[in-house]
């Protein structure tokens, strides 16, 4: 039985997502993805002509997942300050996931950023998008200098992500949330 292209592509991408995130992009070969996806190697290469193409698709998928999960948390809050704090609540819930292994973009950049300009570009684009989202939240909260506040918030967020991955604890998100509250008190109008 032949599966349609969209289904096969989704199976490959789901398998790559799980394996790349768990083991790292360099440690996982196309054979492992073939086995995990149930898609033949020939079909896999028809869908993704190279491992580089598959890594790019994996990072694109992760970017969309991140944006969706972040938006769900932020959009649930109505107060502008609470919307900023919701970012850290999102991080906390993400860090609690059994499969949490840090940021896929930081991990991929660490593995391939110096040898793959495209991976470096996708990682930078993802982080710039996150910074833009924080800048928008800071502006909506009335920050006199939204970019400066977002610079502080991104440092807190990224530090929490990395620290949580190393410590295997969600607590860095709680500490970063407390620091974000202090930053907002100092940088936002009363």
Sort 97 into a burial class: Cβ within 10 Å, 0-12 / 13-18 / 19+: exposed
Q: State in words which class domain 59-187 has.
A: mainly alpha
Cα distance between residue 58 and residue 70, in whole Å: 18
Ordered by start, the domain boundaries in the chain are 1-49, 59-187
Q: State in words which class domain 1-49 has.
A: mainly alpha
Non-local (6+) Cβ contacts of 169 within 8 A are 95
Question: pLDDT 10s per residue in the chain (190 long)?
Answer: 578 999 999 999 999 999 999 999 999 999 999 999 999 999 999 999 999 999 999 999 999 999 999 999 999 999 999 999 999 999 999 999 999 999 999 999 999 989 999 999 999 999 999 999 999 999 999 999 999 999 999 999 999 999 999 999 999 999 999 999 999 999 998 8
CB neighbours of residue 36 within 10 Å: 16
Which alpha helices (H) appear in the chain, and where do they start and end? 5-23, 30-37, 41-47, 51-75, 80-95, 104-112, 117-140, 146-167, 171-187
For residue 1, the model assigns a pLDDT of 57
- Nearest-Å Rg of the Cα atoms of the chain is 19
Q: Enter the DSSP assignment of 77.
A: -
CB neighbours of residue 22 within 10 Å: 11
What pTM was estimated for this model as a whole? 0.93
For residue 77, the model assigns a pLDDT of 97
Please check whether the two domains, 1-49 and 59-187, share a CATH topology: no
Q: Enter the DSSP assignment of 143.
A: -
Non-local (6+) Cβ contacts of 23 within 8 A are none
- CA count, 13 A, side-chain hemisphere, 100: 22
Cα distance between residue 132 and residue 95, in whole Å: 22
Non-local (6+) Cβ contacts of 114 within 8 A are 120
Q: How far apart are the first and last CA of the chain?
A: 64
For residue 122, the model assigns a pLDDT of 97
The distance between the two most distant Cα atoms of the chain, rounded to a whole number of Å, is: 64
130-183 pLDDT tens trace: 999 999 999 999 999 999 999 999 999 999 999 999 999 999 999 999 999 999
């Amino acid at each position: 039985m032949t599966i349609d292209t969209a289904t096969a592509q989704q199976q490959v991408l789901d398998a790559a997502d799980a394996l790349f995130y768990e083991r790292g992009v360099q440690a996982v070969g196309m054979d492992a993805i073939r086995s995990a996806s149930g898609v033949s190697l020939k079909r896999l290469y028809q869908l993704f002509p190279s491992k580089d193409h598959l890594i790019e698709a994996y990072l694109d998928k992760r970017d969309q997942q991140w944006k969706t999960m972040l938006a769900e948390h932020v959009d649930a809050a109505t107060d502008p300050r609470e919307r900023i704090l919701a970012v850290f609540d999102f991080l906390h819930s993400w860090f609690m996931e059994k499969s949490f292994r840090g940021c896929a973009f930081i991990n991929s950049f660490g593995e391939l950023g110096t040898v793959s300009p495209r991976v470096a570009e996708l990682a930078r684009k993802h982080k710039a998008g996150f910074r833009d989202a924080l800048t928008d939240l800071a502006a909506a909260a009335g920050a006199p200098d939204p970019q400066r506040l977002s610079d502080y918030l991104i440092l807190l967020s990224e530090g929490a992500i990395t620290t949580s991955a190393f410590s295997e604890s969600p607590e860095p998100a709680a500490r970063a949330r407390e620091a974000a509250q202090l930053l907002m008190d100092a940088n936002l109008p009363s």
